[in-house]
């Protein structure tokens, strides 16, 4: 066991040394997948335990990002589709998210590294206690400027785009449908997204082995790089993280050119 830990530690340091020589993503997106599967694999009767363990993992990952100088992190914790799950599971998951958001406001990782926290999604549809926790945490971190942590909650990529188009249309002063259609630009939509003013993600990592975005930052990810990791989120290791960054650094980003 000691030899195995020593080899792991040595390999981790080797990876980290190499990664630090390369260019870092400015904006990293994370799809935190695999909490329920992990709970079932570990034999827990209540899958909420997987969500709690997943919430604990976030602190480590934020510190890894800060250590590498990654400025913006967007995590997806609850989608608009998740509401269709069993009512008791949804309520338990939202409670875990609420407790984590409250914890983040006092977290040494957040304070030490200066993470400003912002929630993205249909916040008005969330339970009152959760909305209050989000507001309080956003306000308590609003002066931090070193890093940004976006929490996508009650979020769906298609819904975000539809909402942005509706807002853009309402601002137009035109006489006909044709004029309206011809007046809509990329910037009109971009300026009404939840991420307005935030650079698009350079790299998106999804854990659990699933190879799809499931609607995460659909508009913003047009030229993002993707990395799909087999590890379930609660057991996502620093080695997994560093491998993802290394893979990103080895790619030739052409942005469609």
CA distance 7 to 14: 10
| CB-count exposure of residue 102 (10 Å: 0-12, 13-18, 19+) | middle
Helix, strand, coil tally for the chain in percent (to 5): 50, 15, 35
Residue with tokens 């929490």: 151
Active-site residue, 113 included: no
User: Which residues, in sequence order, are bridge partners of residue 115?
Assistant: 147
Active-site residue, 33 included: yes
| Angle, CA of 201, 205 and 207, to the nearest 5° | 155
Residue with tokens 């853009």: 168
Q: What are phi and psi of 182, to 5 degrees?
A: -75, -15
Q: Out of 33, 35, 150, 202, pick the active-site residue.
A: 33
Q: Out of 59, 60, 82, 188, pick the active-site residue.
A: 82
Which tokens in the block code for residue 101? 């958001």
So which residues are the catalytic ones? 33, 82
């Amino acid at each position: 066991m000691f030899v195995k830990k020593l080899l792991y530690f040595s390999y981790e340091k080797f990876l980290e040394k190499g990664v630090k020589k390369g260019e870092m993503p400015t904006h990293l997106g994370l799809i935190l997948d695999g909490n329920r599967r992990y709970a079932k694999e570990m034999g827990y009767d209540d899958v909420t335990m997987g969500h709690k363990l997943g919430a604990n993992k976030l602190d480590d990952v934020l510190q890894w990002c800060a250590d590498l100088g990654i400025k913006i992190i967007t995590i997806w914790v609850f989608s608009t589709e998740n509401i269709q799950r069993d009512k008791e599971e949804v309520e338990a998951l939202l409670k875990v998210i609420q407790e984590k958001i409250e914890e983040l406001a006092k977290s040494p990782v957040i304070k030490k590294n200066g993470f400003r926290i912002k929630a993205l999604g249909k916040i008005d549809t969330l339970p009152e206690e959760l909305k209050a926790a989000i507001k309080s945490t956003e306000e308590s971190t609003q002066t931090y400027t070193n890093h940004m942590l976006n929490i996508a909650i009650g979020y769906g990529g298609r819904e975000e785009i539809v909402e942005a188009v509706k807002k853009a249309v309402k601002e137009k002063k035109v006489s006909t449908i044709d004029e309206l259609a011809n007046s809509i630009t990329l910037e009109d939509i971009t300026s009404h997204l939840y991420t307005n003013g935030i650079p698009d993600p350079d790299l998106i990592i999804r854990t659990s082995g699933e190879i799809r975005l499931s609607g995460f930052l659909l508009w913003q990810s047009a030229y993002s790089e993707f990395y799909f990791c087999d590890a379930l989120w609660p057991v996502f290791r620093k080695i997994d993280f560093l491998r993802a960054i290394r893979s990103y650094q080895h790619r030739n980003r052409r942005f469609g050119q």
